[in-house]
Homo-oligomer: A and B are copies of this chain.
Amino acid sequence: MSKDKKMVEAITSREEDFAQWYTDVVKKAELIDYSSVKGCMIIKPAGYALWENIQKEVDRRFKETGVENVYMPLFIPESLLEKEKDHVEGFAPEVAWVTKGGLNDLEEKLCVRPTSETLFCDFYKNDIQSHRDLPKVYNQWCSVVRWEKETRPFLRSREFLWQEGHTAHATEEDAQERTIQMLNLYADFCEEILAIPVIKGQKTEKEKFAGAKATYTIEALMHDGKALQSGTSHNFGDGFARAFGIQYTDKNNTLQYVHQTSWGLSTRIIGAIIMVHGDDSGLVLPPKIAPVQVDIIPIQQQKEGVLDKARELAASLKGSFTVKIDESEKSPGWKFAEQEMRGIPVRIEIGPKDIENGQCVIVRRDTRDKYTVAFENVKDELTRILDLMQKEMFERAKKHRDEHVSDARNYDEFKDLLEKKPGFIRAMWCGEKDCELKIKEETTATSRCIPFEQEKLSDVCVCCGKPASKMVYWGKAY
């Protein structure tokens, strides 16, 4: 049967089965399709257009801070992957290995990059010689491969798209500054463009990146109360530099090791957009990231003048908004359902009566609020409505997030909250890995981050009762 049919079949409701709702939305909004390669997804036009918009905005922000884009090879020789001990231990169990090239077995097997620290280090080792060569602030947009067992579209797949920034600096301070600068860039992007509020903080030793000195993260809360790590920024100190021998001569002609960082944001963030904003009718896209912002839907389009007026309206809005006009032969109700499933921020309904009255109806996707607007005011009203929608989507997501943050003063409270009120739990922690392991084993919750904004909830660790100094966000996570 035709696509239209598939589109408007009801989807599972969020309350009934959130995981199934998610799967329904990614398929029915035509963001992805499954491929014949297990665990790898096909990103369809609607999904890829979203990624292109994310790239465009993030890349623009990168370049304003002096980032330069490069491209490193897809493959990493085994011996290179093994140079930094913690790093190889973290990644070796989940990489794909190329063992044959053409008709011959390779002398050394190559892994398909799961991340490119080792390639950048191998490059920087020769490319950096003097303090005048620093800093290096390089980034690449590419795909990476991690051989996951369980996969879910956008959230966890064997191949995914991302950007990975890799920098080298003369001093520890410069590296730390860049690490935090990029974390803030990710946070601002998520909040200002994706309307997703995030919590900024540091990962615990247990949760940090393989090979990092410190990992920083932005954590977002999904509608179902689960957390999603939405971007990370790592300070490597001089660990990789020592393993790879990346040295420069400083102004006194002394050899020094560089200090490095890396930071990444992936197609995972599309999962966050879906799970923070979506509703039972499908996707809801924030206006600032939506590939199509306005869907013009003619009513009784067979009547004289309707399509003409709709096209005239579309033409008058081009340049100010991304506009689509749905001239297909489906019924208006069908088209409304499609527009809602795809999450297009507003639709404009325009029929013979509207035209007679010199007006049309603008309907917001998120609230369904309807606005009857005279033709001459449509551009101004759209600007106002889309701005308002962007702002209110953020506020609504923040309110939901804040309502799902609870404080636990002891372990019983912690477990009770986790069961009864899904969301973030703030609780004090002694700093010991054993407590993290115990909590994870007994509740499946993990430490999400040690937030920059600390608060002293009590004097003791929520798990072991020993003295605690750090407040941690905990939660079940994707």
Contacts and interface: CB of A to CB of B under 8 A. Distances in A.
Interface of A: 1-3, 33, 35-37, 40-45, 48-49, 51-52, 68-77, 80, 93-103, 109-110, 112, 119, 122-123, 126-127, 129-130, 132-133, 138, 142-143, 145, 147, 149, 158-159, 161
A110 B147 CA distance: 13
B73 A42 contact: yes
A2 B147 contact: no
A98 B123 contact: no
A42 B69 contact: no
A133 B70 contact: no
A76 B38 CA distance: 11
Contacts of A127: 33
B69 A52 contact: yes
B102 A99 contact: no
Contacts of A3: 129-130, 132-133
Contacts of A97: 98-101
A2 B42 contact: no
Given A40-B75, A102-B95, A2 B132 contact: yes
B112 A102 contact: no
Q: Is the interface of A mostly helix, strand, loop or mixed?
A: mixed
B71 A42 contact: yes
A18 B126 CA distance: 27
B130 A2 contact: yes
Contacts of A103: 93
Nearest to A70: B48
6 contacts: A3-B132, A37-B77, A95-B102, A97-B100, A101-B147, A102-B149
Given A42-B73, A45-B138, A101-B147, 19 more contacts: A2-B130, A2-B133, A3-B129, A33-B123, A37-B110, A40-B74, A41-B73, A42-B70, A42-B119, A45-B69, A48-B69, A48-B71, A52-B69, A74-B159, A96-B98, A97-B99, A98-B112, A100-B109, A102-B147
Select the residue from A44, A51, A149 with max chain B CB neighbours within 10 A. A44
Nearest to A157: B73
B37 A73 contact: yes
Given A2-B130, A42-B71, A159-B73, A99 B101 contact: no
Contact of A122 (B36, B71, B138): B36
